[in-house]
C-alpha cells in the first residue's frame, strides 16, 4: 500500500495499462490504395466505353431503319458521351502520370510559412538590409 491510500484507509488502485496507440497509415498504404482505385476506375471506363460503342452500333441500326429524328438525336448523345468518357480516361491517366513524377509538397520540403521573432524595428532593419544587398 502506498502512503496516501494507507492514511485515508482506502485500498490502493490498480495501475491502468495505457491503451495501445493506433499505427499510423504509411504513405505506401495510400499509394497502394490509389493504385488499386486507379486500376478499378480504368477498368470501369473501359467497360463503359465498350458497352457504349455496342449501344451506338445498335442505335445506328435503329436510326437507319426508322429514320426518326429522335433516334438520330439519341445516336448523337451516345457519341458525345463516348467522346467524354474517352477524354476522362486520358485525363485520368495523365493525372496519374503527373502524380508519379512530382513528389508531394511535404516530401519536397517546401516551406509555406515563415516566422520572424523580434520587434518591428528589427524587422524593418532586416528588410532594409535585404533591399540594399546587391543581387547576384
Half-sphere exposure for 87 (CA within 13 Å, toward CB)? 6
Q: What is the DSSP letter of 1?
A: -
Contact 86, 53 (CB under 8 A): no
Query: What's the burial of 52, exposed, middle or buried (CB within 10 Å: 0-12/13-18/19+)?
Result: middle
Q: How confident is the model at residue 108 (pLDDT cuts 50, 70, 90)?
A: low
* Distance in angstroms (rounded) separating the CA atoms of residues 82 and 60: 14
Predicted model pTM: 0.52
Query: In this predicted model, what pLDDT tens digit does every residue of 61-104 receive, in sequence order?
Result: 999 999 999 999 999 999 999 999 999 999 998 888 887 777 65
pLDDT for residue 118 is more than 90:
no
Q: Could you please report the per-residue DSSP string of 13-76?
A: PPPPPPPPPPPPPPHHHHHHHHHHHHHHHHHHHHHHHHHHHHHHHHHHHHHHHH--HHHHHHHH
Q: Which residues are within 8 A (CB) of 71 and not within 5 positions of it... i.e. 6 or more apart?
A: 59, 62, 63
* Distance in angstroms (rounded) separating the CA atoms of residues 6 and 8: 6
Amino acid at each position: 500500500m502506498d502512503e496516501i491510500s494507507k492514511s485515508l484507509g482506502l485500498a490502493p488502485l490498480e495501475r491502468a495499462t495505457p491503451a495501445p496507440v493506433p499505427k499510423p497509415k504509411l504513405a505506401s498504404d495510400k499509394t497502394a490504395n490509389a493504385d488499386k482505385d486507379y486500376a478499378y476506375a480504368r477498368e470501369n471506363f473501359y467497360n463503359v466505353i465498350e458497352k457504349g460503342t455496342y449501344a451506338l452500333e445498335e442505335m445506328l441500326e435503329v436510326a437507319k431503319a426508322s429514320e426518326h429524328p429522335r433516334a438520330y438525336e439519341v445516336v448523337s448523345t451516345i457519341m458525345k458521351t463516348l467522346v467524354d468518357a474517352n477524354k476522362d480516361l486520358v485525363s485520368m491517366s495523365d493525372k496519374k502520370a503527373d502524380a508519379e513524377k512530382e513528389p508531394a509538397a511535404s516530401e519536397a520540403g517546401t516551406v509555406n510559412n515563415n516566422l520572424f521573432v523580434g520587434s518591428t524595428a528589427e524587422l524593418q532593419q532586416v528588410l532594409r538590409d535585404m533591399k540594399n544587398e546587391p543581387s547576384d
